[in-house]
């Protein structure tokens, strides 16, 4: 299974045409996506520890940071994307993939494969902005390819809209949660 996860992750990075369709048909792909998203989360938390934590006045425990990164980037984002994808399909064209949350989790988990490349920031800290933006663009491209393949959209523009609206919705969800937590703290 680990070897299959590795090959799928490489195919996702190469934007191979039918990789997401293969993932959507394989029930074990959920575990592979969990491995990818956890590894990507560990890379991001290590970068947080290396670059952000030293600038903070108090130490922040890293386990909650990892949990929150995985929770928002995997669970919340996949559910938001699934809801938005459903709104873009007509009632006659609904596929079984729109009813399976594990497929959405697999899509988002594998699409975050590029996040692992952020490890390059450790060796090339002067290129932090370029590496971060490049990784983000590759993640978005992977998500667009996955949405188009898994949810059978005819147009790439529809898949782009689903992904962009998902990011906007997640931004508002996180903002709302922060606002609620700030209000509760006072």
Per-residue pLDDT tens for 35-60?
999 999 999 999 999 999 999 988 88
- Total length of the chain: 186
Whole-prediction pTM: 0.90
**In terms of Cα–Cα distance, which of 133, 117, 111, 105 is closest to 44?**
117
Closest CA to 144 of 129, 158, 130, 132: 158
Given this model, what pLDDT does residue 2 score? 84
Phi, psi of 95 (to 5 degrees): -105, 165
Looking at residue 58, what DSSP letter applies? Answer: S
Helices (H) and strands (E) in the chain, counts: 9, 0
Q: Could you give the count of Cα atoms lying within 13 Å of 152 in the half-sphere of its Cβ?
A: 10
* Per-run averaged pLDDT (10 residues), the chain, 186 residues: 87 89 90 96 96 90 95 96 89 66 95 96 95 97 95 93 97 96 90
* 3-class DSSP assignment, residue 107: helix
């Amino acid at each position: 299974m680990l070897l299959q996860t590795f090959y799928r992750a490489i195919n996702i990075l190469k934007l191979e045409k039918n990789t997401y369709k293969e993932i959507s048909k394989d029930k074990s792909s959920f575990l592979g996506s969990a491995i990818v998203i956890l590894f990507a989360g560990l890379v991001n938390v290590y970068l947080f520890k290396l670059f952000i934590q030293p600038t903070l006045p108090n130490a922040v425990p890293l386990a909650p940071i990892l949990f929150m990164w995985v929770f928002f980037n995997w669970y919340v984002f996949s559910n938001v994307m699934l809801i938005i994808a459903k709104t873009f399909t007509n009632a006659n064209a609904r596929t079984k993939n729109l009813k399976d949350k594990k497929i959405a989790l697999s899509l988002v988990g594998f699409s975050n494969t590029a996040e692992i490349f952020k490890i390059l920031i450790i060796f090339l800290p002067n290129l932090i902005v370029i590496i971060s933006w490049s990784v983000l663009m590759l993640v978005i491209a992977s998500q667009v390819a996955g949405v188009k393949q898994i949810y059978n959209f005819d147009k790439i523009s529809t898949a782009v809209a689903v992904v962009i609206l998902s990011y906007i919705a997640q931004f508002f969800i996180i903002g709302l949660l922060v606002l609620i937590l700030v209000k509760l703290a006072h």
